[in-house]
Amino acid sequence: MKNWVFSRLGVVGLAGAALMGCAGPRMVAPKDVAQGSQTLEVAERSSMTGSLVDESFKLGTFAVTDVDRDWNKKSGFSVVGYSNDTTTTGYSYKLKGGAGAWDGSCASSADKKGIAILGGEAAWGKSSITCQCKSGETTASVVLKADSPDSSSTKKMGGELSTGAEKKYKVSVVSETDKSNFSESPAGFRFDSDDGAVGAVEILRPGRVWLNERLSETERPPVACLAAGLMLYQAPSEH
């Protein structure tokens, strides 16, 4: 009997090790991003998505809640530069924690030719993505798009992040991971000011966010909110 129990425990242990070994790649934060940054780790995030799934999760001291992927099909759809006719992905969510709650919403439009070439799903480099976060009278936003409409390379994606405090930061792709990344997704994005890195977001699951000491305390919640929006993004499909 003891041998049988030991055998069963051994099998369970090996299975657990195998599952841990199958963990996907993680983004490696650039040194200048990691240095002097607070890291917001993700916890309690489901591996599934969809209207029937609770996609809420913890993001450091914040909580991402009320994720609604049917938001663009409902009344009140509003992201600057997008409409129901032109949007292939639209979703909303909330960020709670800190001084107040933030209402987040994201929209994207994809190159239909790119979707056809890629077999029904648009890679990051074929989509334009905008996320907005609002709290009171403050509106923060991040806009991403490919440098060239003829290229599906995620390395060419870039854009701008605004915290709503008249401060704007450059957004660029981070590709380095701790193991091979075979997906079409970049590892994440970094945010930079003229003086250096101010933060970054890992979009590979489960995800995490870096907030650099260059960010003021009032800028941290909107940056965390926008980063959560990018973490929730799913490539649009023609199906």
Peptide bond into 206 cis (omega under 30): yes
- Residue 11 domain flag: no
Does 77 map to a domain? yes
- Tell me whether residue 1 is in a domain: no
Mean pLDDT per block of 10 residues along the chain (239 residues) reads: 40 40 85 96 91 92 93 58 63 90 88 44 70 94 74 72 90 95 89 97 96 95 97 72
pLDDT at 136: 93
**CA dist., res. 206 & res. 48, Å (int):** 11
Question: Distance between CA atoms of 104 and 91, rounded to whole angstroms?
Answer: 8
Predicted local confidence at residue 206, as pLDDT? 95
Confirm whether 185 is domain-assigned: yes
Would strands 157-162 and 196-202 be described as parallel, antiparallel, or unpaired?
unpaired
pLDDT at 182: 85
Residue ranges making up the domain that contains 169:
27-232
pLDDT at residue 140 in the model: 96
Task: Give the pLDDT score at 120.
Answer: 40
Does residue 6 sit within a domain?
no
User: What is the number of structural domains in the chain?
Assistant: 1
Quick one: tokens of 169? 């930061």
171, part of any domain: yes
